[in-house]
Structure 1
């Protein structure tokens, strides 16, 4: 997939949401970051950015906002009944803010690396603030691996689930699902039978697009 296809997917979802009476509250894609901006970000974060995230920032965009909401009277059947929005956002500034906030949760609430729940919050780079205290993050625990994981602050079903192999794959996969909202109950229908990673080709994904009047 190319970045241009990501944008086209977003446009198609935005058009359908509006036709169904919903609202698109943000659709903005800024220019790519410069090497100097990325270097400054790494200095602020105190780490080297994961390769896939750096690639997207340098080749696609340094700031993205894509956010939509279903119409209040539009109902999706099971297993999509809890899907009400789509959201993809990141920026150089937000990466710093989100990680400071994530570290507060980690240090104050989940400090114990020997605890199986707490440890999920450690060695992570948050890139998406869900808005309910949860985060989407890149796992930095293993060299040469950059899986996208969900950080739940309140025993959410998605805690620790891997959504994609890396940030670039996450961008591509979720573009075919309209960037369904960050809350785990919105995207879990697209992870089949406990398998790793979102699957935009699964039956649920095809049914979801069909329900919105989109081609599979």
Structure 2
């Protein structure tokens, strides 16, 4: 496994951007808005979860939940007529309506679901399930995970139907969230993430489409 790179991330700025995004989407006549940022996870909580799921939490994920928040639920949505059109694809929402960006209290349930899908690894087009750590889900059978084998530490997209399965979204959990939060967590489908990536490798908040999204939202003051 490659060594973890200890980059510095400004978690307080994440909170500022998330709150600012909700304020800005009011200008787009947002139909739904929601944000909850909980307290940090303590060492005992982390230890108990690691015992129950049978693995250590990835370092980048652990940094966030121990130093920032153990659960962040964030969502916004506007009507299609007020949505951003990029390459004939409408961006009308951000993050997940039915679930949080991350939540340590869901890890046991999520990774039981991962084990339920391990059999899909027998199809090479649907590998990654067995050697991954799921941290969030759509509710439509697709999940967000941290790769533990093929590109260790990277955030990947897991899809039971094969669409966008294995899409590489970020070098680490912190890197992925930093880039996604800086565009207001816009979109949430695999195809949306491709829009905001350069050369389809990692979400990038400085890509052309990401800059268009930040301008549309009004997040131009955040680099």
TM-score by length of 2: 0.86
Counterpart position of 1:56: 64
Question: 3-state DSSP class of the match of 2:34?
Answer: strand
Question: 3-state DSSP class of the match of 2:84?
Answer: coil
Question: 3-state DSSP class of the match of 1:177?
Answer: coil
CA distance in 1, matches of 2:10, 2:83: 32
Give the Å deviation of 1:204.
0.8
Aligned pairs (5 A) from 1:11-22? 11-22=19-30
- After superposition, the CA RMSD in angstroms is 1.9
Bigger shift: residues 67-76 or 31-40: 67-76
CA distance in 1, matches of 2:52, 2:33: 30
Counterpart position of 1:150: 157
- 1:101 and 2:113 are equivalent in the alignment: yes
For the 8 Å contact 2:39–2:69, the answer to whether it is kept is yes
CA distance in 2, matches of 1:2, 1:80: 34
Give the Å deviation of 1:24.
4.2
Counterpart position of 1:32: 40
* C-alpha distance after superposition, 1:119-158 (max 9, x if no partner): 2222011111012100110001169x300001112231x2
Counterpart position of 1:162: 168
CA distance in 1, matches of 2:66, 2:110: 20
For the 8 Å contact 1:17–1:24, the answer to whether it is kept is no
1:91 to 103, 115, 122: 103
TM-score by length of 1: 0.89
CA distance in 2, matches of 1:29, 1:212: 21
CA distance in 2, matches of 1:64, 1:2: 15
- 1:74 and 2:82 are equivalent in the alignment: yes
Count of residues paired in the alignment: 209
- 1:182 and 2:188 are equivalent in the alignment: yes
CA distance in 2, matches of 1:191, 1:95: 27
Bigger shift: residues 10-19 or 76-85: 76-85
Counterpart position of 2:136: 128
Bigger shift: residues 63-72 or 77-86: 77-86
Counterpart position of 2:210: 205
Question: 3-state DSSP class of the match of 1:77?
Answer: strand
